[in-house]
């Protein structure tokens, strides 16, 4: 049975001051990068929950199912609801919730999250368990109960974790973006 990827990319990016989803890093937008990594991990379908309709064509060309979340201003839970409701319609065995602002995320890590198909599994970094995280279909109703800007952290408190300290690089500010560029973009050749 398939495991869906749900990319939460409808946030306001208030700390960055511009939509982080459209920031280009190493030749692709952050949300396109997330779609690519999820696809490389074998997750299917890859669902991108966005607010900016200008991204639809590019994400569909990258192979994503694109859902608009017009209630994104109410918090992250509305993007989780949007993705999970759509995923339930295809009856996957589970789903991986992920953001588009963790540029060090790899397909290998996403596959590792899905190795225990009956149990929620989160990513361990900075002394906590967070997203990306895998949730079996048995958790979908609990995910649909989340409210406001609360993510799925409460559902991950006792979950298994796959270590991924690289995921501490989360693009929220210009300084974070510069660190990501230093780490992930090839240096220009010297003349």
| Candidates 3.90.226.10, 3.40.640.10, 3.40.50.300, 3.90.550.10; CATH matching 3-184 | 3.90.550.10
**What are the pLDDT digits (tens) for 105-138?**
999 999 999 999 999 999 999 999 999 999 999 9
Each domain of the chain, given as residue ranges in start order, spans: 3-184
**What are the pLDDT digits (tens) for 70-103?**
998 888 999 999 999 999 999 999 999 999 999 9
- The Cα 130–Cα 125 span in angstroms is 8
- The Cα 71–Cα 10 span in angstroms is 9
Do residues 3 and 93 touch, judged by C-beta distance below 8 A?
A: yes
């Amino acid at each position: 049975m398939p495991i869906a990827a749900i990319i939460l990319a409808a946030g306001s990016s208030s700390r960055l001051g511009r939509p982080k989803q459209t920031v280009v890093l190493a030749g692709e937008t952050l949300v396109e990068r997330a779609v690519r990594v999820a696809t490389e991990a074998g997750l299917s379908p890859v669902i991108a929950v966005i607010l900016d309709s200008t991204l639809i064509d590019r994400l569909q060309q990258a192979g994503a199912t694109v859902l608009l979340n017009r209630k994104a201003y109410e918090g992250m839970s509305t993007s989780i609801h949007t993705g999970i409701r759509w995923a339930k319609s295809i009856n996957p065995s589970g789903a991986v919730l992920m953001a588009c602002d963790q540029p060090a995320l790899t397909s290998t890590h996403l596959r590792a999250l899905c190795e225990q198909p009956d149990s929620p599994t989160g990513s361990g970094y900075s002394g906590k368990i967070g997203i990306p995280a895998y949730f079996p279909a048995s958790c979908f109703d609990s995910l649909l109960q989340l409210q406001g800007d609360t993510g799925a952290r409460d559902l991950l408190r006792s979950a298994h974790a796959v270590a991924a300290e690289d995921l501490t690089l989360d693009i929220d500010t210009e300084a974070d973006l510069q660190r990501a560029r230093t780490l992930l973009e090839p240096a220009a050749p010297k003349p």
